[in-house]
Structure 1
Amino acid sequence: MRIFIAGGTGVLGRPLVEVLVGQGHEVTASTHRSGNLSVIEAIGARPALMNGLDEAAVRQAVLDAGPDVIINQITALSTPARDYAQWLEMTNRLRSEGTRTLMAAAHEAGTRRVIAQSASFMTQPTGPGPTDESTPLYLDAPEPMRTHVRANVAAETLVLETPGIDGVVLRYGFLYGLGTAIGPGGEWVTAIESGDLPIVGEGAGQYPLVHVRDAVAAAVQAVDRGSPGIYNVVGDEPAAQAEWLPYLAELLGAPAPRRVSEEEAEAQIGVQAVYYGNQLRAASNARAKAELGLNLEYPSWREGFRQLFS
């Protein structure tokens, strides 16, 4: 099968390329850095130099590859930024403008299936039980969260509603593992070690953590399994901030996390700290298990953290 991976050298893209090449697929992987072309070749894929916002480059790369399946893993989240809105700005454009360009190219190339990355942690903060794929989204969130949620929704709509293409949206949880913010040397780990990542309020926010290896496995499964639609790709065990932060701090030998009020968190960090830390609802992975055959290597974040940091 011919598969085009947009964003083929990122935290998810590179291991995804390796797995699909190992399965015998003809893989083309894109990168926007010329220095990564040799990396893609070294793992057995065909490289394509492509800026996700360059309409002509995207079109040419996709038409040259002629893929049966496209997997879109492009983000601009790997570079930390102190300002949350600034950090999300390029990813928001890639989700809205970039997805429009990619889907147009996919339609022109005769691609039959597109799998795209989104987020499971953008639902309304109130409601009963765990969220699922039908839970209303936080479209009226305070800025800068609102713009990010709406960019994700725009991308999801394009993937699901482009004529002639089976669109699959994978709403990942918070990734942890090598190369992520919650991995050795990662931004969040460094903040925990220095005592700079606090528990907000009661720390009741239920983080839908998912190991990188399980996120990659879900994308591999989605190549030829599951009906078109949206799937939450998260672990089995939601992680309250008041539980996972002290747990990880202890594994790291770091000081116990300090506590701040919601008002302090909003003033010091931003509104997103309040939402994630004290309001986020747990997410269900039942549909991904039933339809994609999601079989988690790390169903519990506790075990995943132990293996990663002990």
Structure 2
Amino acid sequence: MRVYVAGGSGELGRRLVPRLLERGHQVTATVRTPGRADAVRAAGAEPVVVDGLDAAAVREAVDRAAPDVIVHQMTALSAKPDFKHFDRWFAVTNRLRTEGTRHLLAAAEAAGVGRFVAQSFTGWNNARTGGPVKTEQDPLDSEPAKWQRESSAAIRFVEQAVTTAPLDGIALRYGLFYGPGASQSMVEVIRKRQFPLVGDGGGVWSWIHLDDAAAATVAALERGRAGVYNIVDDEPAAVSEWLPYLAESVGAKRPMRVPAWVARLLAGTAMVQWCTQARGASNLKAKHDLDWQPVWSSWRDGFRHALIEQPPTAEYGRDR
């Protein structure tokens, strides 16, 4: 198939493009700056420099590529997390999930694209009630923290827009990414003991290695049915379980424990809720419908063996 990857130079895009090429697909991958085009071209894909928020440019790029499938992986996060001002940290990504999605869907309709696969998320946005693990049928959080409302609305928008569009629309709710390129900042914070255990650490997180996320995306593109899929590993875990393990895995001291009220002052309500009330996600639907199985089925093995090793090339990572 002819595949248009919007966001082809991001951490997930850099793993996705080689997999698509290995499967025999013809790939056009977008980059935000000309400096990233050479790496895409060297991998065997056709690069195109385009601003995902420029409707006319997106329309022209999609028309020129004439794809069978569009994969929307556009994000724009700064390197340093800012949980206290979450929506400000995600401001451009939220625009890409709203305006950018509109532009891509309009271009897809005009070009007669048959399938559209978009990045979504599962984690802090799950409803903080009921059991610790949620399926795709469970509701999202109807009352997110004040500084996550815009981000929550953007996630809802991309899912609804894609799955109700007049094409095969698939939204992939990825868990927390880890792996080379996605873990360095968190590892640095943990080594500095700046990521404490908050309260009882009872919030449940679901993780996914970038390589497994890329493999699931290919599976969804090739054989998924319209709808929503959780793309996570097999072992949702409480912060009180995975955080000390991660610290030990990277040779850091055991995280300090702080009361929730202290963490709220330092990091904001959003982070406290995520660490104490979050719900994880089930991957059973994706495993069954997509015939997909994560290689790193547990974050335990992934943290030990596939966390921050550098990919074979500095410019454009290859899969395991």
Say whether the fold is shared (TM-score over 0.5).
yes
Aligned pair 1:272/2:274, yes or no?
no
C-alpha distance in 1 between matches for 2:73 and 2:250: 30
Aligned pair 1:109/2:107, yes or no?
no
CA deviation after TM superposition for structure 1 residue 201, in Å:
0.7
Q: How many percent identity over aligned positions?
A: 44
- RMSD over aligned CA atoms reads 1.2
Asked if the contact 1:138/1:146 (under 8 Å) is kept, the reply is no
Residue ranges of structure 1 left out of the alignment (5+ in a row): none
What residue is the counterpart of 2:257 in the other structure?
Answer: 259
Asked if the contact 2:133/2:280 (under 8 Å) is kept, the reply is yes
C-alpha distance in 2 between matches for 1:16 and 1:251: 27
Asked if the contact 2:132/2:204 (under 8 Å) is kept, the reply is no
- TM-score, scaled relative to structure 2: 0.93
Pick from 132, 137, 140: which aligns with 1:137? 140
Matches within 5 A, 1:41-190: 41-82=41-82, 83-121=85-123, 122-163=125-166, 165-180=167-182, 182=183, 186-190=184-188
- 1:215-270 alpha-carbon deviations (Å, 9 max, x no partner): 00000001121210000000100121111111111121111101111211111011
C-alpha distance in 1 between matches for 2:209 and 2:237: 13
C-alpha distance in 2 between matches for 1:146 and 1:293: 34
CA deviation after TM superposition for structure 1 residue 274, in Å:
1.2
C-alpha distance in 1 between matches for 2:274 and 2:48: 36
Q: 1:296 and 1:63, CA in 2 relative to 1: closer, same or farther beyond 3 A?
A: same
What residue is the counterpart of 1:19 in the other structure?
Answer: 19
Structure number with the bigger relative contact order (C-alpha 8 A, sep ≥ 6) is: 2
What is the DSSP-based 3-state SS (H/G/I as helix, E as strand, rest coil) of the residue aligned with 1:250?
helix
What residue is the counterpart of 2:296 in the other structure?
Answer: 298
What is the DSSP-based 3-state SS (H/G/I as helix, E as strand, rest coil) of the residue aligned with 1:148?
helix
C-alpha distance in 1 between matches for 2:213 and 2:42: 23
What residue is the counterpart of 2:39 in the other structure?
Answer: 39
CA deviation after TM superposition for structure 1 residue 129, in Å:
4.7
Asked if the contact 2:131/2:279 (under 8 Å) is kept, the reply is no
Moved runs in structure 1, 4+ residues, more than 6 A?
A: none
CA deviation after TM superposition for structure 1 residue 78, in Å:
4.8
Asked if the contact 1:4/1:67 (under 8 Å) is kept, the reply is yes
What residue is the counterpart of 2:195 in the other structure?
Answer: 197
What is the DSSP-based 3-state SS (H/G/I as helix, E as strand, rest coil) of the residue aligned with 1:116?
strand
Asked if the contact 2:78/2:89 (under 8 Å) is kept, the reply is no
Asked if the contact 1:241/1:277 (under 8 Å) is kept, the reply is yes
What is the DSSP-based 3-state SS (H/G/I as helix, E as strand, rest coil) of the residue aligned with 1:296?
coil
CA deviation after TM superposition for structure 1 residue 134, in Å:
1.3
C-alpha distance in 2 between matches for 1:273 and 1:152: 18
Equivalent pairs counted in the alignment come to 305
What is the DSSP-based 3-state SS (H/G/I as helix, E as strand, rest coil) of the residue aligned with 2:208?
strand
Paired residue type of 2:20: L
Matches within 5 A, 1:216-231: 216-231=214-229
C-alpha distance in 2 between matches for 1:210 and 1:68: 27
CA deviation after TM superposition for structure 1 residue 80, in Å:
2.1
What is the DSSP-based 3-state SS (H/G/I as helix, E as strand, rest coil) of the residue aligned with 1:178?
coil
Asked if the contact 1:21/1:45 (under 8 Å) is kept, the reply is yes
CA deviation after TM superposition for structure 1 residue 6, in Å:
0.3
What residue is the counterpart of 1:248 in the other structure?
Answer: 246
CA deviation after TM superposition for structure 1 residue 275, in Å:
1.8
What is the DSSP-based 3-state SS (H/G/I as helix, E as strand, rest coil) of the residue aligned with 1:48?
strand
Pick from 205, 208, 222: which aligns with 1:207? 205
- TM-score, scaled relative to structure 1: 0.96
Paired residue type of 2:280: A
